Structures are given as C-alpha cells and as structure tokens.
Structure 1
Amino acid sequence: MRRRTLLGAGVAAPLAMTLGACSPDETPQAGSSPGATFDRAALPAGLVGKALLPGDPGYADELKTYNLLMSPKPGVVIAAAAAGDVQAAVRMAAGRGAPVAVLATGHQPAVPIGPDTVLITTRAMRGVTVDAQRRVARVEAGVRWQQVVDETVKVGLAPLAGSTPIVGVVGYTLGGGLSPIMGRAHGYAADHVRRVDLVTADGQLRTVAPDTDADLFFAVRGGKSNFGVVTAIEFDLFPVKTLYGGAIFFDGADAGKVLHTYREWVKTVPDAMSSSVALLRLPDAPEVPEPLRGKFVTSVRISYLGSEASGGKLVAPLLAAATPIVAAVREMPFSEFGTIHADPVEPLPVFERTALLRELTGETVDQLLAVAGTAAPYPITMTEIRHLGGALGRQPAQANAVSNRDAAFTLFVASIGGPADAGAITKAEADIIARMQPWSTGGMFLNFMTSEDSAPDAVQRAYQPAVYQRMAAVKRKVDPTNMFRLNHNIKPA
C-alpha cells in the first residue's frame, strides 16, 4: 500500500501543480476571433443533447479543457448525446459554410477556435460495450480510458490505454495511440481498431471498416479528426490481468548515471517491456512525499507483461545505476496502470513540444542533460524519453496511416506556466528540441504535436510521403471543402 501512495496521491497531486499533460492524446483547440456568426434560429431542432450559444447557461462549462492555455470560443456548441446530434451539427455547419471542431477532454492544442466555428462536444456519449468472447470493446466518442478499464477488468481483459485513465479513447486511438503500458508488445492502438462509426462532411453516418471503405478506414486510423466526427469505435482487447510496473526515482544529481544505464538497458529488453525515463522538477509542497519534495529527480517508469520474478531480474540493472530515493515497482492489477506514470488529473496550463529520435547515444544523453538537467538554463518541468520499437516498429496486419515506425524513442517536453512565462518556456523547449536534432528522425508523432506544430510542413512530418498523399486523396473525396480543418490539418489533394 505504501508504494501505491507514493506513486498515486503522493506524486500525482503535486505533479498536477507543475507537470502538465503527460499524455496529450486529443483534439481541442484554442483562441478566438471577433464577430459571432450564429443565432438561435440557426440551431438544429430535435437534439438529444443541447445546442448552446455564447452566454447561454452551460456554454462555458461545455468548453472546459484539460490544458488551460486553450480557450475555445465557438459561435455555437453542440453538446452531442447521440450520433444524430453529430449529424445535425455537421449539416448545420455545411449549410453555413462553417468549420467543425471536436472536443472531448481537451488535452492536445491545435489551432484557434473562433465564433465562425461549430464545436461538437462528445462528453455525453459514454456508452461502453465489452464482448469478452470476441475480445472486443465498442465505445462511444466521449468515453475515457478509466471507464473502459472498469469494464474490461471484470472479464480479465485490457485495452491499449495510454499513461493516464483520464484521456479520451477516440482521440487517443485515432491519433495513433502510443501505450507506454503495452505498446511495445502489441503496437499502436490504431493498429487494433476493427471499425469506426463516422459522420462525414455530407452529414452521413458511415460504418467504416476494411470491407466497407478501405481507403477511409486506412486514413482515419492515424488521421484523427481530418475526415469526419467519430461517434464510436470498436477495437481489440488483450488477455492481461496483471502488470509488473511502477516508477523508480533517483536524485537529479544521478541523472547522467541513470540515463546512460537506461540507454544501454533498452537494447536488452524484450517486447513485453515498455518503459520511459523522465527528468522531473517536483514542487516544494506538502503533498509531495518528503524524500522527493522540492527536488529535481530522474524517474524510470516500467511496465512489463510478465511475472514479478522475471520482471525483477530485468529491472535489476536500473536499480544498480544509482541509489534510488524511491523504488516503487511491483506486481499490480491492470486496473492500477495509471499509477505507473501518475500523471496529473486536474486541469493545468501546459506548454509542450515533441520530436522522434532514431537513437539514444552517449552524446545524446550528454546534450540532453546540458539543456534539461541540473544546470539547464531554464527549469523545464518534465523532459521524457519513451522507448519505442518492438511491435511499435512493425506494420500491422491491417495497414493504417500511423507512420514513422522507424523511430526508436519519443522526446516529449512539458512545462507549466501562464502567459507571462510563455516566451521563456517556449524558447527553452525549442532549445531542447533543437539540441536533439542530430539524433532526430525528422518525423513527428501526431498525438504529441501541439499548436507549435500545426503548420502544413510540420503536419506532413507526421506521415510518410506516400501515406500523406493517400490521405490527401481521401480528404478530397470525403471533405473537399476542408470542413474539418481545425486540427493538424490534411488538406484535400
């Protein structure tokens, strides 16, 4: 129980004060523009959910996001409670030539949403169905991972969830879905989607699967919100009941020893081992366990699909790298997967940047420590290296748009701060990304991209050239006017 406290309430709460979104996996946007374009007469009738204009009771609540730097101000909000509500919203937007944006939990910023926009929120769409015999779950667009896990563990199954249970399933999955819990063993979440219910720009609700529309099925799994509004998805589950996992915290002074050990260690581990290492600056707050309070630490996060005995042997070299402050790795039920990363659950103002690395060499580590370690010119809150490879590096049986599978690691940088801190934080994060450029693949991972990465050339870096061209052709077919453009946009070819 002590270990769980250190990883959960003892660390997650203070990280919520400093860390930001460690699992950016959805598609809300930020900003506003002058001049409203909607009135009450324009709103669709017969909704199961609600239509809200600026100033209406509930309008502001419906727009709440996880990343507090975002402030969407759409001309109308359709709080969808059924697929028919989404269709009505899309048809209204089409009739007025308005763009459509989608908001579930609001982790990932993309581009501004102003009063010319129809914003569809999906939070009320929370249906979950688990077919234990087929090992498949069907979830609606507003479902978060915790709700899915609550149902799957009852029958001894587990989904390819991210690092936190509060992220929305649909945005995470359609942006790729990189699980630090089981990703190396099973690949991306998008690799295991069986079918998608999608409202396209013509207002039609389509069931998209390999045997109904192969090109659209390819594109939407990795293209996120570019091709329509997803109302439900069906995906595979896995027979996993327990994990050997947790976090090991070392003093920041030992960051070099730990990172150099880690870069050699990942060369030896099986696909069943997923892991990451992070440099963290924890606040001097009573909520932080005393051994970690106010410290710069290095945290290695472990998730192994195997026994405690074999997992312990695998983790031993890491424990020997330096003297841990806290070593909280144990066998746990899958339902406790969120304690491994202990990501914050309260909304935060977060600045983020990302890159993909082809390797992690001794020089890579030294350069990273120079800009993100104890002597860093600016105290970034978190710098994470996440191990890829394994099934993440292989093509799935049913091809999709998720690209850049040659990358060996993700680099993710996050820091908390308000508008007054924006200049210093964005410069410091850009410096880290630039310093890692010699080891970068040049590619990007869509779910970790932010508003800084929304330019067309940046979006193209998330895909192989042939994949991007195929997606642009699909876009021309299903969304020729680019109604779904308030995202990391793929323009019609």
Structure 2
Amino acid sequence: MTAPHSTPHSTSHPIPALFSLSPIRGPVLRPGDDGYADEVTGFNLSQPHTPDLVIGATGADDIVTAMRWAAATNTPVSVQATGHGANFPIDSGLLINTTRMTDVRIDPHQRTATIAAGAKWRHVLEAAAPHGLAALNGTSTDTGVIGYTLGGGLPVLGRTYGYASDLVRSFQVVTPDGTLRETDAAHEPDLFWALRGGKGNVGIVTSLVCELLPLSRILGGAIYCAGKDAETLLPAYINWTHTVPPQMCTAFTLLRLPPLPQIPEPLRGGFWSRIAFAWTGDPAEGERLIAPLRTAVPVAVDTLTTMDYTAVDTIYAEPQDPLPARESCALLRDLPPDAIRAFLTQVGPAAPDCPLLLVELRHMGGALANPPPTEDAVCARDAQYFLETVAVLTDPQTAEAIEKATTALHATMAPYGTGRTMVNIHGRPGNEADRARAWTPEVHTRLRQTKATYDPANLLRFGHTVTPAA
C-alpha cells in the first residue's frame, strides 16, 4: 500500500485524515506534487484541471474511501478516465482518476464483459475478439467505456444494435455517501435507470457488465470526395439514407484538415466530403447498396473493405493524440432540401473560411429508435440525424471564430431539430437550462429527483450535471 503523500503544500484541503485509517493504494497528490499534472490531464486539452486533490484509484476500495472522506468534508468530487469528454474545468475539490482500473473479463458462454472503470473500448475489443465477439463502441476505441456508456453511448453500429446503454446488465457504483452498490433492473431500479443516459449524476461507477455481440467482421471504411462536391453528394446521401436497412450505419462529414504530418496524403491540408460506412450484413449486398454513392461524384480515396471488427477505428480515423477541442451537437428530426441548403450555406463550399475541423451528420433511426429493453434516460430515440461539430482551439482569435461559426450553424439548423442534444457530445456545459437540453423535461425532472435521493449535497457537481430536486 502507498501512504498518502505528506509533503506540505498550500491547499484549501488538508491531506485527508480518513486515508490514514483506510489507506489509498494509488497516489494521493496536490498541486505542485510530482505526477500531479499527468493525473489531471485528459485527452481534451481545452480545459485545464486544477483540483485541490487528485487520487489515482487502483480499485473500488480506493473510490469508496475517497467518497467517504468527500461526504464527511462536503468536498465536491469529479472523476476522469480518458478525459475525451472533459469540456469543463475541474477547478477545485477532489478528482478521482480511474486510469489504473483497466481490467476486462469476458464470459464467452454468457457473451458478457465485466469492465472496470478506467478501461477503454480498445481493451474490450482486444479481449472479446478471440471469442468472436464485439462491443458497441463509438467512433474511437480510445474512449473510456464507463463515461461513454453513462451518456447512452452512440455506437458505430448503432442503427443495427441500438445504444451501448441498451446492453448493460448491471453496474457496480459508489454513491456519494461512500456506499458500494450493485444495481440492475431489479435492484435499485431508479439508480440503474439514471446511470444509463443520465451521465455521472448519481455515483462513480467502478465496473459494469454488458452484453457482447456475436460479430467478428464487418464491411467498413469511407469514401473521400472533394469538398466542393458536397452540394451534389450531400443531397444524394440524404435521399439514399431513406432507402437503406438498419444493418447500414453511416455518416456524412465535411473535413477541413490541417497540413499536419500525422494526416496522410492526399488528405493532408484539404477540404473533403466523406461518407463513412459500417455494414453488418453480407459484404456483397453492402457493396451493392453503397454503389450509387460511389458514382454520385468523383471519389478521391476509397477505404471500404471487409475488416476484422478490431480495425473499426480506421472507419472514422479520429485523432489519436490529445488536443484542445471544442465540440457541440444537435439532434435533428429530418433534413429536407431547404435544411440541406441551409447547412451547406453555413459550412459547405460557400463558406471557405469556416473554422470547424469536422461537421458531421450521422444517420440515426433503425435500432436507435427502438424502445430500450429496460427504461433508461436516453432521449435521442426520436432523431433521424445527429449533427456534430469539432474544432481545434489554437489561439483566442480562432476560438472566437469557432464560437461564432458553431452558434450560427446551430441557429440555422434549430428549425429542423428536436431541441435536444446528446450529453456525451453536448460540448461545454452551460447553466442548468443549457445542460437540461440533453433530456426531455420529464426525464430531467426525474433525474433531479433521483439525484436528490443519491446525491442530495450535490457533491458530483462538475460537468454535465443536474441539481438535486428540492
């Protein structure tokens, strides 16, 4: 066991006396300690974190001890694994880092995975693949399983299999009173409900058990066309999405790529229209369905191939290195011709100075529209398309231009939207009304009531949170 760090530093919190009674196995650090910066820094570098105290948890016991101390001292608590969704500054309190908790156990007979708090989807796929199994990961397997799933989890194969939270069987979670609980549909169902789509409002998950898919290979990849051809390709794509079965999971993306050596030629430094594909049916049938889009405009790069599912990251080819990102999203009811024209006016070839690195329209529907097996807090099942933007913050002038472009795009697309966002990609959380847009009013009210049951002191107040009901 590692004793708490005892080098004196100026801080608003003393090193917790409770830790000496039940020692934390991982590091306990304050600002200025060696290793502090590494513990608090996540993938998204846009918001630096400066908590008063950070704990590198090695297991559920560490988290229980930390939460009991936080409850006794009324210290606010945040948690971080990969930090992909860190759109908010953690500027005080206690941060629990779970990156050391990466254990994944596969039960091939039950087709389930038991996944610890800090594991990435990459860890799950590597463990599941030898058994011919796959998981409902997102567009990058570098993201953490727990944070992704708590927000519902929009998978690459969502139209075929639904949300990641749909496959969760149970959670082990430490609630803010320091109690380690097991919850599923039959045990503390309100807690189980809130953990599937309600993000981190009611506890810190130490592990979950989810179902796996009997899947080892898919047809996947993307076609890249000149950005100037978006005015022809996007309407063709939207019309095409009205005709395809739920085994076809796709997204249309406008990419303005910087001239960086990490980006391969000929894509480096270019403006591109891309359609990404993931097809779970017969590869020949998938090729036949995709053929009309390959002939709609000239294709510059075609990466479509039958692949092992462990190669799923190549479909969307997301950045692998940390960067300061500004992201946002909106859920859209439909994209009629006037909506497509309005979209292209804001971010298409007619907007050559658009500062957004990525603007994506994900096709929803299919299994994403189905009711969940057990009631949950996901509020995106009525959307036909999902709009996402990502930009890289390099300097104050760029940040101002990004904010202006993002605001203008969302205002333009608002008449076609459901009025809601998805909590994982909502972006920088604003006030309570802004954060509430991730849920329907009814679900938001129920989340506040459940929060009042499990976190009445609002210790879990960082990020995309709700306030406890009175």
Change (3 A) 1:328 1:224: same
Retained in 2: the 8 A contact 1:226–1:489?
yes
Larger RCO: Structure 1 or Structure 2 (Cα < 8 Å, ≥ 6 residues apart)?
1
The yes-or-no answer on 1:114 pairing with 2:91 is: yes
Matched, 1:481 2:457: yes
Q: Which amino acid is 1:151 matched to?
A: A
Unaligned regions of 5+ residues in structure 1, if any?
1-34
Provide, for residues 21-79 of structure 1, a one-character-per-residue CA deviation record: whole Å limited to 9, x for no partner.
Answer: xxxxxxxxxxxxxx831123546231121211111111111111111111110000011
* SS class of match (1:224): coil
Shift of 1:286: 4.7
Alignment-derived partner of residue 59 in structure 2: 82
Aligned length: 456
Equivalence for 1:471: 447
In 2, Cα distance between equivalents of 1:290 and 1:74: 41
Q: CA offset at residue 417 of structure 1? A: 2.0
Q: 1:311 to 1:373 in 2, by over 3 A?
A: same
Q: Is the 8 A contact 1:358 1:439 kept in 2?
A: yes
**TM-fit CA distance, 1:366:** 1.2
**Quick check: 2:46–2:87 contact (8 Å CA) kept in 1?**
no
Structure 1, 225-234 or 276-285: larger mean CA deviation: 276-285
Instruction: Using the TM superposition, name which of 424-433 and 106-115 deviates more.
Output: 106-115
AA of the residue aligned to 1:95: A
* SS at structure 2 position matched to 1:40: coil
Q: What secondary structure is seen at the aligned counterpart in 2 of 1:300?
A: strand
Identity of aligned residues (%): 40
Which residue does the alignment assign to 1:283? 258
2:423 aligned with 1:457: no
CA distance in structure 2 between the partners assigned to 1:114 and 1:369 by the alignment = 39
TM-score (norm 2): 0.95
Among candidates 299, 318, 322, match of residue 347 of structure 1:
322
**Is residue 329–residue 425 contact of structure 2 (8 Å, CA) maintained in 1?**
yes
Distance in 2, matches of 1:44 and 1:118, equals: 13
Question: Match for 1:331 among 280, 298, 306?
Answer: 306
Distance 1:277 1:196 in 2: 34
Letter of the structure 2 residue corresponding to residue 141 of structure 1: A
Alignment of 1:292 with 2:267, yes or no, is yes
Corresponding residue for residue 68 of structure 2: 91
1:256 aligns with 2:231: yes
Counterparts in 2 of 1:43 and 1:75: CA distance versus 1, 3 Å: farther
Does the residue aligned with 1:280 lie in a helix, a strand or coil? strand
2:222 partner SS: strand
Determine helix, strand or coil for the equivalent of 1:211: coil
* Residues 190 and 222, structure 1, Cα contact 8 Å, conserved in 2: yes
Could you tell me how far apart the structure 2 residues matched to 1:287 and 1:153 are? 28
The more displaced of 473-482 and 460-469 is 460-469
Q: C-alpha deviations, 1:320-372, integer Å up to 9, x for none? A: 11010011111101010010001001001111121111101211111111111
Q: Which amino acid aligns with 1:73?
A: T
Tell me, in whole angstroms, the C-alpha distance in 1 between the residues paired with 2:367 and 2:246: 7
Hey, what does 2:34 align to over in structure 1? 57
SS at match of 2:196: helix
For 1:249, the aligned partner's letter is Y
Specify every segment of 5 or more residues in structure 2 that has no aligned partner in the other structure, as ranges.
1-9
Aligned residue for 2:209, secondary structure, equals strand
- Aligned mates of 1:379, 1:120 — CA distance in 2: 34
Tell me the equivalent position of 2:106. 130
Go from structure 1 to structure 2 and tell me whether the alpha carbon gap of 1:321 and 1:478 turns closer, same or farther (over 3 Å shift).
Answer: same
CA RMSD of aligned residues (A): 1.3
Aligned-pair distance for 1:423? 1.1
TM superposition shift of 1:110: 4.2
Whether 2:154 is the aligned partner of 1:178: answer yes
What is the CA–CA distance in structure 2 between the aligned matches of 1:40 and 1:187, rounded to whole Å? 44
CA contact (8 A) 2:24 2:62 kept: yes
Distance 1:221 1:292 in 2: 38
Q: Cα offset for 1:292?
A: 2.4
TM-score, with structure 1 as normaliser? 0.90
Read off the aligned partner of 2:46 and give its amino acid letter: L
Are the aligned partners of 2:258 and 2:269 in contact in 1 as well (CA < 8 Å)? yes
Give yes or no for contact 1:39–1:53 (8 Å, CA) kept in 2.
no
Cross-structure match for 1:381? 357
Deviations 1:233-274 (A, max 9, x none): 000101011010101000011111110111001001111111
Q: 2:179 and 2:19 mapped to 1: Cα distance? A: 16
- Out of 273, 281, 293, which is 1:318 matched to? 293
User: Which residue, out of 218, 223, 230, partners 2:193?
Assistant: 218
Contact 1:454 1:489 in 2 (8 A): no
For the residue of structure 2 that corresponds to 1:487, the secondary structure is: coil
CA contact (8 A) 1:126 1:140 kept: yes
Counterpart position of 1:271: 246
Q: Do the aligned residues in 2 keep the contact of 1:353 with 1:433 (CA within 8 Å)?
A: no
What SS does structure 2 have at the residue aligned with 1:324? Answer: coil
Secondary structure in structure 2 of the residue aligned to 1:274? strand
Q: How far, CA to CA, are the matches of 1:86 and 1:57 in structure 2?
A: 22
Displacement, 1:288? 3.7
Aligned pair partner of 2:44 in 67, 71, 75: 67
Secondary structure of the 1:223 match is coil
CA drift of 1:287 comes to 4.5
Alpha-carbon distance in 2 for matches of 1:285, 1:486:
34
Give the CA deviation at 1:379.
3.0
Preserved contact between residue 40 and residue 95 of structure 2 (Cα < 8 Å): no
